[in-house]
């Protein structure tokens, strides 16, 4: 064999060895990267599933709550006296508070009688929804759940329904209360992730997706029979439900695989897909992670394996060269020694340069691993913020106390009325008139009590006005008057006789004070000789409002988190931790701040700081009286 042929064979052998080293290295790197990506996708999918469940379940109480409202039951029980506008306004108010899309009321024949969108051109009023499953479930006496495309709005939503029972007729529901929740906000949150998220129903229809082009597409092509069944239910109206073009390439465990798309915006792209079922909803959520990290890991493995192989080949060549030089040393003496020195120096520089490249590659790998660890820690922390919330529990507690105060005046009214009839029968007009005067006074008192509850539920204004802090405290104490008397709570008022004014919204400030006083009363439930301390301190440009108690106080470990959303120290079922968080945001919106601290002598104190109003626009007395009387 000639020298040229020997060199060619050696080069081919080296290339074959390089291929045998790089191929298994890239395959091992691919499997490891796929495992890491699959674990990361599973974590993200678990958080997304929890977020979707929380987004939907935090509204499931609302239909039952609205169905139990006395105005709704009275509206259904007296068809000849229906005043739909009042119910429309009531439903629209609940829609705004609960932050849902629509709230509407159906009669027992599925005709829409009232709706929160009564003022819109596409209002539901007059529409019949007997074909919807949520109506059939609720009219049968069960809570209904349904997802689909709106017939009029063409918006995708999730529907909650509950039967409306009349107190004097529990044989069958008199109507159905329906709440619709849109899903766009949840999809907007998904769009921020570096992955594609899909929600697929039992028929294989992509009902939700982070990418708009994939929504209302079929995961796999539908047969004519399947398409006709979907059209018959009107769940997706007349949408074409075109195929998504998804095609499976490789299985990865029980719930994972590699997929690609043959059409659409993702045509030709390959993804790792993980699936997780939502059994209670009849859905399945998929996450599609791009294979960019896997490809990068393969390239890095190839470079690393090639570099190590090159060092090995280079080392072998160096050894062979040195052996050759030693054999020629006798013949070429000084010239060959100089040549060998230059070759050795050049080789050492090459080795140093390649070693430096390898060290830099390893450092980049370490930085990427640390970045991924921090991302996983951030994802775990977001789980604490995915709990459902409800803001109307306090209204039920206040209504129970005011109902207790109404019982005694009602009994007295009945007694006075019976006496007046007896006096009239005896023609004792003066005594009958005295009894009627007592009845008038008692009914005025009852109207004042009920007006307090109406005032608590009214909507706040958009404009900041002059607000008397003392009047706000007076309103809150009137709401809790029955509970204060029942628990024997001593109230200490520490404020000047002259009115102190702040620039705020009357309704929102009253509701914050009601919440703080309610929390204080609950904290003192087991405290002997409970004492509620209310204070107002007017300073130069600021007014400090204090609500303190002599209860057990707040644990020091919880002070830093007391205003975080969904953080609560109450027992399960007594609160969701939204009251103080919402109160803090309200005070911040009014230009102030809310703080909490423990008192040295025991108990807790909440302090509100608001801008002082030195030139208040004082409302006229008769206007104030009318507002408190009519709520």
- pLDDT at position 441, please? 65
Mutual angle of helices 429-457 and 621-630, in 10-degree steps: 80
- What letters, b where the CB count within 10 A reaches 16 and e where it falls short, cover 17-38? ebeebbeebbeebbeebbeebb
Say if strands 196-200 and 283-290 run parallel, antiparallel, or are unpaired: antiparallel
Q: What is the pTM of this model?
A: 0.46
Whether the per-residue pLDDT at 231 is higher than 70: the answer is yes
- With cut-offs at 50, 70 and 90, classify the pLDDT of residue 537: very high
Rounded CA-CA distance 566/445 in Å is: 38
Please give the structure tokens belonging to residue 111.
């005709």
The better pLDDT of the pair 299, 153 is held by 299
- pLDDT at position 283, please? 87
> Which residues, 6 or more positions from 301, have their beta carbon under 8 angstroms from its beta carbon?
22, 25, 26, 28, 29
- With cut-offs at 50, 70 and 90, classify the pLDDT of residue 396: low
**pLDDT tens per residue, range 263-297:** 777 888 889 999 989 888 888 989 998 888 888 88
The better pLDDT of the pair 578, 359 is held by 359
- pLDDT at position 582, please? 83
Please give the structure tokens belonging to residue 158.
């999730």
Rounded CA-CA distance 594/175 in Å is: 44
Highest-confidence segment of 189-198, 459-468, 510-519 = 510-519
- pLDDT at position 575, please? 44
Contact 105, 91 (CB under 8 A): yes
Whether the per-residue pLDDT at 576 is higher than 70: the answer is no
The better pLDDT of the pair 605, 248 is held by 605
Whether the per-residue pLDDT at 398 is higher than 70: the answer is no
Closest CA to 267 of 286, 288, 244, 284: 244
**pLDDT tens per residue, range 441-451:** 668 656 655 65
Instruction: Name residue, tokens 């915006």.
Output: 265
- pLDDT at position 346, please? 86
Rounded CA-CA distance 80/148 in Å is: 34
What value does the mean pLDDT of the chain take? 81
The better pLDDT of the pair 501, 352 is held by 501
- With cut-offs at 50, 70 and 90, classify the pLDDT of residue 79: low
Q: Find the length of the chain.
A: 631
- pLDDT at position 388, please? 36
Mean pLDDT of 115-128: 90
Mean pLDDT of 513-518: 92
**pLDDT tens per residue, range 327-359:** 777 787 778 778 888 888 888 888 888 888 888
- pLDDT at position 569, please? 63
Residue 567: C-alpha distances to residues 51, 117, 382, 512, 576 (Å)? 17, 34, 13, 17, 7
Mean pLDDT of 398-416: 60
Contact 219, 242 (CB under 8 A): no
Q: Which of 48-57, 165-174, 396-405, 584-593 has the lowest mean pLDDT?
A: 396-405
Strands (DSSP E) contained in 246-395 are: 246-251, 256-261, 270-278, 283-290
- pLDDT at position 80, please? 60
Whether the per-residue pLDDT at 6 is higher than 50: the answer is yes
- pLDDT at position 376, please? 67
Rounded CA-CA distance 5/15 in Å is: 15
Whether the per-residue pLDDT at 181 is higher than 70: the answer is yes
- pLDDT at position 447, please? 66
- pLDDT at position 109, please? 92
**pLDDT tens per residue, range 355-394:** 888 888 888 888 888 888 887 677 556 433 433 333 444 4
Mean pLDDT of 304-322: 83
Whether the per-residue pLDDT at 405 is higher than 70: the answer is no
The better pLDDT of the pair 526, 302 is held by 526
Rounded CA-CA distance 302/29 in Å is: 9
The better pLDDT of the pair 494, 298 is held by 494
- % the chain with pLDDT above 70: 86
The better pLDDT of the pair 153, 134 is held by 134
The better pLDDT of the pair 112, 226 is held by 112
Mean pLDDT of 466-477: 91
Q: Which DSSP string do the residues of 443-479 spell out, in sequence order?
A: HHHHHHHHHHHHHHHSPPPSS-EEEEHHHHHHHHHHH
């Amino acid at each position: 064999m000639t020298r040229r042929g020997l060199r060619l064979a050696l080069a081919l052998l080296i290339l074959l060895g390089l291929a045998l080293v790089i191929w298994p290295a890239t395959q091992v790197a691919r499997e490891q990267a796929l495992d890491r990506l699959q674990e990361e996708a599973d974590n993200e999918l678990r958080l997304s599933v929890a977020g979707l469940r929380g987004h939907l379940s935090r509204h499931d109480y609302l239909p039952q709550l609205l169905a139990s409202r006395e105005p709704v039951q009275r509206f259904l029980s007296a068809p000849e006296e229906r005043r739909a506008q009042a119910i429309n306004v009531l439903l629209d108010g609940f829609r705004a508070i609960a932050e849902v899309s629509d709230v509407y009321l159906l009669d027992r024949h599925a005709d829409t009688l009232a709706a929160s969108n009564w003022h819109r051109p596409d209002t539901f009023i007059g529409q019949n929804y007997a074909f919807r499953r949520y109506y059939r479930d609720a009219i049968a006496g069960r809570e209904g759940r349904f997802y689909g495309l709106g017939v009029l709005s063409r918006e995708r939503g999730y529907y909650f329904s509950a039967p409306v029972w009349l107190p004097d007729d529990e044989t069958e529901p008199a109507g159905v209360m329906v709440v619709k929740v849109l899903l766009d906000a949840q999809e907007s949150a998904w769009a921020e992730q570096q992955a594609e998220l899909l929600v697929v129903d039992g028929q294989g229809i992509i009902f939700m997706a982070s990418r708009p082009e994939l929504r209302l597409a079929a995961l796999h092509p539908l047969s004519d029979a399947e398409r006709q069944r979907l059209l018959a239910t009107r769940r997706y109206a007349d949408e074409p439900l075109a195929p998504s073009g998804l095609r499976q390439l490789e299985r990865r465990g029980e719930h994972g695989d590699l997929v690609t798309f043959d059409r659409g915006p993702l045509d030709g792209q390959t993804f790792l897909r993980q699936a997780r079922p939502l059994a209670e909803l009849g859905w399945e959520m998929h996450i599609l992670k791009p294979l960019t990290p896997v490809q990068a890991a393969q390239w890095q493995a190839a470079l690393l394996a090639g570099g190590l192989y090159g060092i090995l080949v280079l080392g072998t060549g160096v050894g062979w060269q040195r052996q050759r030089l030693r054999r020629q040393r006798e013949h070429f003496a000084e010239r060959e020694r100089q040549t060998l020195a230059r070759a050795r120096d050049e080789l050492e520089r090459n080795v140093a340069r390649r070693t430096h490249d390898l060290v830099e590659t390893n450092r980049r790998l370490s930085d990427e691993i640390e970045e991924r660890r921090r991302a996983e820690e951030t994802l775990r922390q977001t789980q604490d913020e995915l709990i459902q919330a409800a803001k109307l529990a306090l209204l039920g507690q206040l209504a129970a106390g005011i109902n207790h105060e109404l019982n005694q005046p009602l009994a007295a009214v009945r007694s006075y009325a019976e006496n007046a009839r007896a006096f009239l029968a005896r023609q004792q007009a003066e005594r009958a008139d005295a009894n009627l005067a007592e009845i008038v006074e008692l009914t005025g008192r009852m109207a004042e009590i009920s007006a307090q509850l109406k005032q608590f539920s009214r909507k706040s204004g958009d404009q900041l006005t002059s607000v008397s802090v003392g009047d706000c405290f007076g309103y809150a104490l009137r709401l809790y008057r029955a509970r204060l008397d029942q628990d024997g709570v001593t109230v200490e008022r520490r404020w000047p006789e002259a009115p102190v004014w702040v620039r705020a919204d009357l309704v929102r400030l009253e509701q914050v004070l009601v919440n703080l006083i309610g929390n204080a009363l609950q904290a003192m439930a087991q405290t002997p000789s409970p004492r509620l301390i209310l204070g107002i301190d007017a300073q130069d440009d600021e007014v400090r409002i204090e609500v303190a108690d002599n209860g057990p106080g707040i644990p020091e470990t919880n002070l830093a988190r007391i205003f975080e959303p969904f953080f609560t120290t109450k027992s399960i079922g007594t609160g969701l931790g939204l009251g103080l968080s919402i109160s803090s945001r309200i005070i911040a919106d009014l230009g102030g701040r809310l703080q909490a601290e423990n008192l040295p002598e025991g108990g807790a104190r909440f302090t509100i700081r608001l801008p002082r109003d030195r030139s208040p626009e004082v409302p006229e007395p008769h206007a104030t009286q009318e507002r408190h009387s009519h709520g």
